[in-house]
Structure 1
Protein backbone atom coordinates (compact mmCIF):
# COMPACT_ATOMS: atom_id res chain seq x y z
CA UNK A 1 0.00 0.00 0.00
CA UNK A 2 2.91 2.36 0.63
CA UNK A 3 3.64 2.47 -3.08
CA UNK A 4 0.18 3.88 -3.73
CA UNK A 5 0.56 6.49 -1.00
CA UNK A 6 3.93 7.64 -2.32
CA UNK A 7 2.58 7.95 -5.85
CA UNK A 8 -0.48 9.76 -4.55
CA UNK A 9 1.75 12.32 -2.85
CA UNK A 10 3.37 13.23 -6.17
CA UNK A 11 0.09 14.53 -7.60
CA UNK A 12 -0.92 18.21 -7.47
CA UNK A 13 -3.89 18.71 -5.15
CA UNK A 14 -6.27 19.70 -7.93
CA UNK A 15 -5.53 16.57 -9.98
CA UNK A 16 -6.23 13.90 -7.33
CA UNK A 17 -9.28 11.74 -7.94
CA UNK A 18 -10.05 8.61 -5.99
CA UNK A 19 -13.15 6.49 -5.77
CA UNK A 20 -13.52 3.46 -3.54
CA UNK A 21 -14.74 1.44 -6.51
CA UNK A 22 -11.33 1.90 -8.15
CA UNK A 23 -13.02 3.25 -11.29
CA UNK A 24 -11.99 6.28 -13.26
CA UNK A 25 -14.12 9.39 -12.79
CA UNK A 26 -13.42 10.27 -16.42
CA UNK A 27 -13.93 7.26 -18.75
CA UNK A 28 -11.39 8.66 -21.19
CA UNK A 29 -8.63 8.08 -18.65
CA UNK A 30 -6.86 4.76 -18.51
CA UNK A 31 -6.47 2.44 -15.58
CA UNK A 32 -3.16 1.98 -13.83
CA UNK A 33 -2.78 -1.21 -11.81
CA UNK A 34 -0.04 -1.26 -9.21
CA UNK A 35 0.89 -4.63 -7.75
CA UNK A 36 1.79 -3.88 -4.12
CA UNK A 37 2.73 -7.10 -2.35
CA UNK A 38 0.15 -9.85 -2.36
CA UNK A 39 -2.91 -7.69 -2.84
CA UNK A 40 -2.94 -5.75 -6.10
CA UNK A 41 -4.45 -2.32 -5.45
CA UNK A 42 -5.88 0.09 -7.98
CA UNK A 43 -5.02 3.74 -7.78
CA UNK A 44 -7.10 6.10 -9.96
CA UNK A 45 -5.07 9.02 -11.27
CA UNK A 46 -6.28 11.91 -13.41
CA UNK A 47 -3.10 11.61 -15.48
CA UNK A 48 -1.23 8.33 -15.33
CA UNK A 49 1.74 10.25 -16.75
CA UNK A 50 2.22 11.82 -13.32
CA UNK A 51 3.07 8.47 -11.76
CA UNK A 52 6.72 8.01 -10.83
CA UNK A 53 7.53 4.81 -12.64
CA UNK A 54 10.40 3.90 -10.34
CA UNK A 55 8.25 3.83 -7.23
CA UNK A 56 6.03 0.89 -8.15
CA UNK A 57 7.04 -2.73 -8.51
CA UNK A 58 4.87 -3.41 -11.51
CA UNK A 59 2.80 -0.94 -13.49
CA UNK A 60 0.97 -1.64 -16.70
CA UNK A 61 -1.45 0.51 -18.63
CA UNK A 62 -4.11 -1.45 -20.46
CA UNK A 63 -5.60 0.36 -23.42
CA UNK A 64 -9.05 -0.90 -24.32
CA UNK A 65 -11.13 0.15 -27.32
CA UNK A 66 -13.37 3.04 -26.34
CA UNK A 67 -17.07 2.28 -26.13
CA UNK A 68 -19.64 4.32 -28.04
CA UNK A 69 -20.52 6.16 -24.82
CA UNK A 70 -16.87 7.00 -24.18
CA UNK A 71 -16.38 8.21 -27.75
CA UNK A 72 -19.41 10.47 -27.50
CA UNK A 73 -18.21 11.79 -24.16
CA UNK A 74 -14.81 12.61 -25.64
CA UNK A 75 -16.51 14.34 -28.60
CA UNK A 76 -18.46 16.48 -26.16
CA UNK A 77 -15.30 17.29 -24.23
CA UNK A 78 -13.63 18.38 -27.46
CA UNK A 79 -16.60 20.61 -28.35
CA UNK A 80 -16.39 22.25 -24.92
CA UNK A 81 -12.62 22.65 -25.29
CA UNK A 82 -13.02 24.31 -28.69
CA UNK A 83 -15.58 26.71 -27.26
CA UNK A 84 -13.20 27.57 -24.41
CA UNK A 85 -10.29 28.03 -26.82
CA UNK A 86 -12.29 30.44 -28.98
CA UNK A 87 -13.26 32.48 -25.92
CA UNK A 88 -9.68 32.56 -24.68
CA UNK A 89 -8.53 33.86 -28.07
CA UNK A 90 -11.35 36.40 -28.32
CA UNK A 91 -10.57 37.75 -24.84
CA UNK A 92 -6.81 37.36 -25.11
CA UNK A 93 -6.92 35.73 -21.69
CA UNK A 94 -7.55 32.37 -20.02
CA UNK A 95 -9.55 34.05 -17.23
CA UNK A 96 -12.88 33.37 -18.96
CA UNK A 97 -15.34 31.91 -16.46
CA UNK A 98 -16.80 28.42 -16.57
CA UNK A 99 -20.26 29.97 -16.93
CA UNK A 100 -19.25 31.76 -20.14
CA UNK A 101 -17.69 28.60 -21.53
CA UNK A 102 -20.90 26.70 -20.77
CA UNK A 103 -23.00 29.33 -22.51
CA UNK A 104 -20.79 29.20 -25.59
CA UNK A 105 -20.86 25.39 -25.63
CA UNK A 106 -24.60 25.19 -24.90
CA UNK A 107 -24.25 23.07 -21.78
CA UNK A 108 -25.03 23.37 -18.08
CA UNK A 109 -22.23 24.02 -15.55
CA UNK A 110 -22.84 20.62 -13.95
CA UNK A 111 -22.17 19.01 -17.34
CA UNK A 112 -18.90 20.90 -17.57
CA UNK A 113 -17.77 19.75 -14.14
CA UNK A 114 -18.81 16.18 -14.89
CA UNK A 115 -16.14 16.13 -17.60
CA UNK A 116 -13.60 18.56 -16.14
CA UNK A 117 -12.92 18.51 -12.37
CA UNK A 118 -11.34 21.97 -12.62
CA UNK A 119 -11.58 24.64 -15.31
CA UNK A 120 -7.95 24.36 -16.40
CA UNK A 121 -8.54 20.75 -17.53
CA UNK A 122 -10.68 22.08 -20.39
CA UNK A 123 -7.61 22.32 -22.66
CA UNK A 124 -6.70 18.63 -22.32
CA UNK A 125 -8.96 17.39 -25.17
CA UNK A 126 -7.14 19.74 -27.56
CA UNK A 127 -3.78 18.35 -26.48
CA UNK A 128 -5.07 14.79 -26.74
CA UNK A 129 -6.26 15.39 -30.30
CA UNK A 130 -2.87 16.75 -31.33
CA UNK A 131 -1.15 13.87 -29.56
CA UNK A 132 -3.31 11.24 -31.22
CA UNK A 133 -2.49 12.66 -34.66
CA UNK A 134 1.22 12.61 -33.85
CA UNK A 135 1.02 9.04 -32.58
CA UNK A 136 -0.85 7.97 -35.70
CA UNK A 137 1.86 9.44 -37.93
CA UNK A 138 4.58 7.60 -36.01
CA UNK A 139 2.61 4.34 -36.12
CA UNK A 140 2.29 4.56 -39.90
CA UNK A 141 5.88 5.62 -40.58
CA UNK A 142 7.57 3.16 -42.93
CA UNK A 143 10.37 1.09 -41.30
CA UNK A 144 12.89 2.48 -43.78
CA UNK A 145 11.86 6.08 -43.07
CA UNK A 146 14.53 8.19 -41.39
CA UNK A 147 13.61 8.24 -37.70
CA UNK A 148 14.53 11.89 -37.19
CA UNK A 149 12.44 13.09 -40.12
CA UNK A 150 9.51 10.92 -39.00
CA UNK A 151 9.64 12.47 -35.52
CA UNK A 152 9.94 16.00 -36.88
CA UNK A 153 6.99 15.43 -39.21
CA UNK A 154 4.86 13.88 -36.47
CA UNK A 155 5.28 16.88 -34.17
CA UNK A 156 5.24 19.74 -36.66
CA UNK A 157 2.91 18.86 -39.54
CA UNK A 158 -0.57 19.28 -38.07
CA UNK A 159 -0.37 23.02 -37.38
CA UNK A 160 0.61 24.18 -40.90
CA UNK A 161 -1.70 21.56 -42.43
CA UNK A 162 -4.68 23.37 -40.88
CA UNK A 163 -3.28 26.70 -42.14
CA UNK A 164 -3.83 28.21 -38.70
CA UNK A 165 -0.24 28.76 -37.64
CA UNK A 166 -0.66 32.20 -36.06
CA UNK A 167 -4.02 31.21 -34.56
CA UNK A 168 -2.45 28.20 -32.87
CA UNK A 169 0.60 30.16 -31.78
CA UNK A 170 -1.58 32.73 -30.03
CA UNK A 171 -3.43 29.97 -28.21
CA UNK A 172 -0.17 28.29 -27.18
CA UNK A 173 1.10 31.66 -25.97
CA UNK A 174 -1.89 31.93 -23.63
CA UNK A 175 -1.31 28.35 -22.41
CA UNK A 176 2.41 28.55 -21.70
CA UNK A 177 2.14 31.96 -20.03
CA UNK A 178 -0.45 30.77 -17.51
CA UNK A 179 1.13 28.51 -14.83
CA UNK A 180 -1.92 26.26 -14.41
CA UNK A 181 -2.50 25.73 -18.14
CA UNK A 182 1.21 25.31 -18.75
CA UNK A 183 1.18 22.54 -16.13
CA UNK A 184 -1.56 20.71 -18.10
CA UNK A 185 0.49 21.02 -21.28
CA UNK A 186 3.61 19.66 -19.61
CA UNK A 187 1.72 16.76 -18.01
CA UNK A 188 0.01 15.90 -21.28
CA UNK A 189 3.32 15.39 -23.08
CA UNK A 190 4.10 12.46 -20.80
CA UNK A 191 1.26 10.48 -22.40
CA UNK A 192 3.35 10.23 -25.57
CA UNK A 193 6.26 8.45 -23.90
CA UNK A 194 4.90 4.96 -24.63
CA UNK A 195 4.18 5.47 -28.35
CA UNK A 196 7.50 7.21 -28.96
CA UNK A 197 9.33 4.42 -27.14
CA UNK A 198 7.58 1.82 -29.34
CA UNK A 199 8.54 3.79 -32.46
CA UNK A 200 12.19 3.96 -31.43
CA UNK A 201 12.28 0.34 -30.23
CA UNK A 202 11.43 -0.82 -33.77
CA UNK A 203 14.60 0.84 -35.02
CA UNK A 204 17.07 1.00 -32.12
CA UNK A 205 18.23 -1.19 -29.27
CA UNK A 206 16.75 0.49 -26.20
CA UNK A 207 17.65 -2.31 -23.80
CA UNK A 208 15.39 -4.06 -21.30
CA UNK A 209 15.56 -1.72 -18.31
CA UNK A 210 12.24 0.16 -18.32
CA UNK A 211 13.64 3.41 -16.95
CA UNK A 212 16.50 3.71 -19.43
CA UNK A 213 14.35 2.28 -22.22
CA UNK A 214 11.97 5.23 -21.95
CA UNK A 215 14.69 7.84 -21.50
CA UNK A 216 15.06 8.67 -25.25
CA UNK A 217 11.30 9.28 -25.49
CA UNK A 218 11.45 11.49 -22.40
CA UNK A 219 14.19 13.51 -24.07
CA UNK A 220 12.20 13.69 -27.31
CA UNK A 221 9.25 15.19 -25.42
CA UNK A 222 11.58 17.73 -23.83
CA UNK A 223 12.86 18.66 -27.29
CA UNK A 224 9.26 19.23 -28.41
CA UNK A 225 8.56 21.42 -25.40
CA UNK A 226 11.65 23.50 -26.04
CA UNK A 227 10.81 23.89 -29.75
CA UNK A 228 7.22 24.97 -29.12
CA UNK A 229 8.14 27.43 -26.36
CA UNK A 230 10.67 28.94 -28.74
CA UNK A 231 8.03 29.18 -31.46
CA UNK A 232 5.66 30.95 -29.07
CA UNK A 233 8.31 33.56 -28.31
CA UNK A 234 9.78 34.22 -31.77
CA UNK A 235 6.88 33.28 -34.11
CA UNK A 236 9.24 31.38 -36.41
CA UNK A 237 7.67 28.05 -37.33
CA UNK A 238 10.61 27.15 -39.55
CA UNK A 239 12.77 27.62 -36.46
CA UNK A 240 10.52 25.17 -34.60
CA UNK A 241 11.27 22.51 -37.21
CA UNK A 242 14.98 23.25 -37.00
CA UNK A 243 14.93 22.94 -33.21
CA UNK A 244 13.02 19.65 -33.46
CA UNK A 245 15.43 18.26 -36.05
CA UNK A 246 18.58 19.21 -34.14
CA UNK A 247 17.24 17.84 -30.87
CA UNK A 248 16.02 14.56 -32.39
CA UNK A 249 19.34 14.09 -34.18
CA UNK A 250 21.19 14.41 -30.88
CA UNK A 251 18.95 11.77 -29.29
CA UNK A 252 19.04 9.29 -32.17
CA UNK A 253 22.81 9.62 -32.61
CA UNK A 254 23.31 8.10 -29.17
CA UNK A 255 21.13 5.04 -29.82
CA UNK A 256 22.55 1.72 -31.09
CA UNK A 257 20.80 0.42 -34.18
CA UNK A 258 19.09 -2.93 -33.88
CA UNK A 259 21.48 -5.74 -34.85
CA UNK A 260 19.29 -6.99 -37.70
CA UNK A 261 19.38 -3.51 -39.28
CA UNK A 262 23.17 -3.19 -39.20
Structure 2
Protein backbone atom coordinates (compact mmCIF):
# COMPACT_ATOMS: atom_id res chain seq x y z
CA UNK A 1 0.00 0.00 0.00
CA UNK A 2 2.87 2.31 0.87
CA UNK A 3 4.46 1.66 -2.53
CA UNK A 4 1.15 2.36 -4.30
CA UNK A 5 0.71 5.61 -2.38
CA UNK A 6 4.27 6.65 -3.17
CA UNK A 7 3.79 5.90 -6.88
CA UNK A 8 0.53 7.85 -6.98
CA UNK A 9 2.19 10.79 -5.27
CA UNK A 10 5.02 10.74 -7.80
CA UNK A 11 2.58 10.82 -10.73
CA UNK A 12 0.66 13.65 -9.07
CA UNK A 13 3.88 15.61 -8.65
CA UNK A 14 4.81 15.09 -12.30
CA UNK A 15 1.34 16.19 -13.43
CA UNK A 16 1.47 19.27 -11.23
CA UNK A 17 4.92 20.20 -12.55
CA UNK A 18 3.74 19.66 -16.13
CA UNK A 19 0.74 21.96 -15.58
CA UNK A 20 2.83 24.61 -13.83
CA UNK A 21 5.21 24.93 -16.77
CA UNK A 22 2.54 24.84 -19.49
CA UNK A 23 2.10 28.17 -21.28
CA UNK A 24 -0.06 29.70 -24.00
CA UNK A 25 1.21 31.16 -27.27
CA UNK A 26 -0.78 33.55 -29.47
CA UNK A 27 -0.27 32.60 -33.12
CA UNK A 28 -1.11 34.56 -36.29
CA UNK A 29 -1.78 31.98 -39.00
CA UNK A 30 -2.28 32.48 -42.74
CA UNK A 31 -5.84 31.57 -43.71
CA UNK A 32 -4.75 28.82 -46.14
CA UNK A 33 -3.23 26.94 -43.20
CA UNK A 34 -6.40 26.92 -41.07
CA UNK A 35 -7.26 23.22 -41.32
CA UNK A 36 -3.75 21.86 -40.68
CA UNK A 37 -3.16 24.32 -37.83
CA UNK A 38 -6.29 23.20 -36.01
CA UNK A 39 -5.02 19.62 -36.02
CA UNK A 40 -1.50 20.71 -35.09
CA UNK A 41 -2.78 22.81 -32.16
CA UNK A 42 -4.69 19.82 -30.76
CA UNK A 43 -1.69 17.54 -31.11
CA UNK A 44 0.64 20.21 -29.69
CA UNK A 45 -1.42 20.47 -26.51
CA UNK A 46 -1.62 16.70 -26.09
CA UNK A 47 2.11 16.21 -26.60
CA UNK A 48 3.53 19.23 -24.78
CA UNK A 49 0.84 20.60 -22.45
CA UNK A 50 1.23 24.03 -24.05
CA UNK A 51 -1.70 25.77 -25.75
CA UNK A 52 -1.54 27.45 -29.17
CA UNK A 53 -4.34 30.01 -29.60
CA UNK A 54 -4.55 30.79 -33.32
CA UNK A 55 -6.08 33.66 -35.25
CA UNK A 56 -6.54 33.18 -39.01
CA UNK A 57 -6.36 35.81 -41.73
CA UNK A 58 -4.38 37.37 -44.56
CA UNK A 59 -0.63 37.70 -44.26
CA UNK A 60 -0.65 41.36 -45.26
CA UNK A 61 -3.20 42.30 -42.62
CA UNK A 62 -1.29 40.38 -39.97
CA UNK A 63 1.83 42.33 -40.90
CA UNK A 64 -0.03 45.59 -40.33
CA UNK A 65 -1.40 44.36 -37.01
CA UNK A 66 1.98 43.11 -35.80
CA UNK A 67 3.76 46.35 -36.66
CA UNK A 68 1.01 48.20 -34.79
CA UNK A 69 1.51 46.21 -31.61
CA UNK A 70 -0.81 43.21 -31.90
CA UNK A 71 0.12 40.70 -29.16
CA UNK A 72 0.97 37.77 -31.43
CA UNK A 73 4.05 35.78 -30.44
CA UNK A 74 4.45 33.45 -33.42
CA UNK A 75 3.64 34.20 -37.06
CA UNK A 76 2.89 31.52 -39.68
CA UNK A 77 2.74 33.47 -42.92
CA UNK A 78 1.64 32.49 -46.42
CA UNK A 79 4.91 33.77 -47.89
CA UNK A 80 8.56 34.20 -46.99
CA UNK A 81 8.81 37.92 -47.78
CA UNK A 82 6.66 39.17 -44.91
CA UNK A 83 8.48 37.34 -42.09
CA UNK A 84 11.81 38.40 -43.67
CA UNK A 85 10.60 42.00 -43.66
CA UNK A 86 9.66 41.78 -39.99
CA UNK A 87 13.05 40.24 -39.31
CA UNK A 88 14.81 43.14 -41.08
CA UNK A 89 12.74 45.58 -39.01
CA UNK A 90 13.91 43.97 -35.77
CA UNK A 91 10.50 42.62 -34.84
CA UNK A 92 11.40 38.94 -34.63
CA UNK A 93 13.54 36.71 -32.48
CA UNK A 94 16.80 36.27 -34.44
CA UNK A 95 17.47 32.86 -35.95
CA UNK A 96 13.92 31.53 -35.64
CA UNK A 97 12.59 32.04 -39.17
CA UNK A 98 12.20 28.92 -41.34
CA UNK A 99 10.01 27.55 -44.15
CA UNK A 100 7.36 25.27 -42.64
CA UNK A 101 5.55 24.49 -45.91
CA UNK A 102 5.42 25.27 -49.62
CA UNK A 103 1.91 25.86 -50.87
CA UNK A 104 0.20 24.90 -54.12
CA UNK A 105 -2.26 27.05 -56.04
CA UNK A 106 -5.31 25.44 -57.64
CA UNK A 107 -8.10 26.68 -59.89
CA UNK A 108 -11.21 25.16 -58.35
CA UNK A 109 -14.95 24.98 -58.95
CA UNK A 110 -17.66 23.41 -56.83
CA UNK A 111 -19.16 22.22 -60.14
CA UNK A 112 -17.62 18.80 -60.91
CA UNK A 113 -18.06 19.34 -64.66
CA UNK A 114 -16.79 22.89 -65.08
CA UNK A 115 -13.01 22.40 -65.15
CA UNK A 116 -12.57 19.46 -67.52
CA UNK A 117 -9.54 20.58 -69.50
CA UNK A 118 -7.45 22.61 -67.10
CA UNK A 119 -6.61 26.22 -67.85
CA UNK A 120 -8.63 26.22 -71.07
CA UNK A 121 -11.73 27.04 -69.03
CA UNK A 122 -10.25 30.48 -68.42
CA UNK A 123 -9.64 31.13 -72.11
CA UNK A 124 -13.21 30.17 -73.01
CA UNK A 125 -14.38 32.88 -70.59
CA UNK A 126 -17.87 31.35 -70.25
CA UNK A 127 -18.49 32.14 -66.60
CA UNK A 128 -19.71 35.13 -64.63
CA UNK A 129 -17.23 35.45 -61.79
CA UNK A 130 -13.69 34.31 -60.96
CA UNK A 131 -12.63 34.62 -57.33
CA UNK A 132 -9.11 35.40 -56.14
CA UNK A 133 -7.71 36.55 -52.81
CA UNK A 134 -6.66 40.19 -52.56
CA UNK A 135 -3.21 40.16 -54.21
CA UNK A 136 -2.07 43.13 -52.11
CA UNK A 137 -2.45 41.29 -48.82
CA UNK A 138 -2.69 37.57 -49.67
CA UNK A 139 0.25 35.75 -51.33
CA UNK A 140 -2.07 33.21 -52.96
CA UNK A 141 -3.88 36.11 -54.60
CA UNK A 142 -0.59 37.46 -55.93
CA UNK A 143 0.20 33.99 -57.32
CA UNK A 144 -3.21 33.89 -59.01
CA UNK A 145 -2.45 37.18 -60.77
CA UNK A 146 0.95 35.85 -61.88
CA UNK A 147 -0.75 32.76 -63.27
CA UNK A 148 -3.32 34.72 -65.26
CA UNK A 149 -0.56 36.88 -66.70
CA UNK A 150 1.42 33.79 -67.66
CA UNK A 151 -1.68 32.47 -69.45
CA UNK A 152 -2.25 35.90 -71.04
CA UNK A 153 -5.86 36.05 -69.81
CA UNK A 154 -5.44 38.68 -67.08
CA UNK A 155 -6.83 41.63 -69.05
CA UNK A 156 -9.70 39.64 -70.52
CA UNK A 157 -10.77 38.34 -67.10
CA UNK A 158 -10.25 41.54 -65.12
CA UNK A 159 -13.96 42.57 -65.30
CA UNK A 160 -15.02 39.20 -63.84
CA UNK A 161 -12.75 39.14 -60.82
CA UNK A 162 -14.13 39.16 -57.29
CA UNK A 163 -11.65 39.51 -54.45
CA UNK A 164 -11.77 37.80 -51.10
CA UNK A 165 -10.19 39.50 -48.13
CA UNK A 166 -8.15 36.32 -47.68
CA UNK A 167 -7.98 32.85 -49.19
CA UNK A 168 -10.64 31.54 -46.77
CA UNK A 169 -13.19 34.07 -48.01
CA UNK A 170 -12.17 33.33 -51.60
CA UNK A 171 -12.94 29.67 -51.01
CA UNK A 172 -16.34 30.64 -49.59
CA UNK A 173 -17.18 32.61 -52.73
CA UNK A 174 -16.58 29.52 -54.86
CA UNK A 175 -18.05 26.90 -52.54
CA UNK A 176 -21.32 28.85 -52.24
CA UNK A 177 -21.58 29.47 -55.99
CA UNK A 178 -21.19 33.23 -55.76
CA UNK A 179 -18.29 32.69 -58.16
CA UNK A 180 -18.29 29.72 -60.51
CA UNK A 181 -14.57 29.17 -60.02
CA UNK A 182 -11.59 30.67 -58.28
CA UNK A 183 -7.94 30.35 -57.37
CA UNK A 184 -7.61 28.82 -53.90
CA UNK A 185 -5.04 26.87 -51.90
CA UNK A 186 -4.84 23.17 -52.67
CA UNK A 187 -4.99 22.51 -48.92
CA UNK A 188 -8.57 23.82 -48.86
CA UNK A 189 -9.89 21.22 -51.29
CA UNK A 190 -7.48 18.32 -50.74
CA UNK A 191 -8.42 15.27 -48.67
CA UNK A 192 -7.17 11.70 -48.56
CA UNK A 193 -4.69 12.34 -51.36
CA UNK A 194 -7.11 13.83 -53.88
CA UNK A 195 -9.40 16.77 -54.67
CA UNK A 196 -12.30 16.12 -52.32
CA UNK A 197 -15.11 17.58 -54.44
CA UNK A 198 -15.88 19.68 -57.50
CA UNK A 199 -13.36 20.03 -60.33
CA UNK A 200 -9.90 21.52 -60.37
CA UNK A 201 -6.71 22.34 -62.21
CA UNK A 202 -3.53 22.29 -60.14
CA UNK A 203 -1.46 25.24 -61.33
CA UNK A 204 2.06 24.24 -62.45
CA UNK A 205 4.64 25.65 -60.05
CA UNK A 206 6.54 27.42 -62.84
CA UNK A 207 3.61 29.76 -63.52
CA UNK A 208 4.26 31.78 -60.38
CA UNK A 209 6.87 32.42 -57.74
CA UNK A 210 7.16 29.59 -55.18
CA UNK A 211 4.69 29.96 -52.32
CA UNK A 212 7.21 29.41 -49.52
CA UNK A 213 5.45 29.83 -46.20
CA UNK A 214 7.71 30.94 -43.36
CA UNK A 215 7.19 30.84 -39.61
CA UNK A 216 8.98 33.04 -37.09
CA UNK A 217 8.94 33.84 -33.39
CA UNK A 218 8.17 37.52 -32.89
CA UNK A 219 9.90 39.78 -30.36
CA UNK A 220 6.82 39.48 -28.17
CA UNK A 221 7.41 35.72 -28.01
CA UNK A 222 10.88 35.90 -26.52
CA UNK A 223 10.96 34.01 -23.24
CA UNK A 224 7.66 32.26 -23.92
CA UNK A 225 8.26 28.53 -23.61
CA UNK A 226 5.17 27.70 -25.66
CA UNK A 227 6.38 29.89 -28.56
CA UNK A 228 9.72 28.13 -28.87
CA UNK A 229 8.08 24.74 -28.29
CA UNK A 230 5.58 25.35 -31.11
CA UNK A 231 8.27 26.30 -33.61
CA UNK A 232 10.25 23.18 -32.65
CA UNK A 233 7.08 21.10 -32.91
CA UNK A 234 6.43 22.30 -36.47
CA UNK A 235 9.75 20.69 -37.45
CA UNK A 236 8.87 17.23 -36.15
CA UNK A 237 8.10 14.29 -38.43
CA UNK A 238 4.65 14.01 -36.87
CA UNK A 239 3.69 17.54 -37.87
CA UNK A 240 5.34 17.28 -41.27
CA UNK A 241 3.08 14.31 -41.98
CA UNK A 242 0.02 16.39 -41.06
CA UNK A 243 1.16 19.23 -43.31
CA UNK A 244 1.82 16.91 -46.26
CA UNK A 245 -1.62 15.35 -45.84
CA UNK A 246 -3.12 18.69 -46.90
CA UNK A 247 -1.16 18.81 -50.14
CA UNK A 248 1.74 20.99 -49.03
CA UNK A 249 5.35 20.30 -49.90
CA UNK A 250 8.05 20.20 -47.22
CA UNK A 251 11.63 21.15 -48.03
TM-score by length of 1: 0.27
With CA pairs under 8 Å and 6+ residues apart, which has the higher RCO, 1 or 2? Answer: 2
Larger Rg: 2
TM-score by length of 2: 0.28
Higher helix share: 1
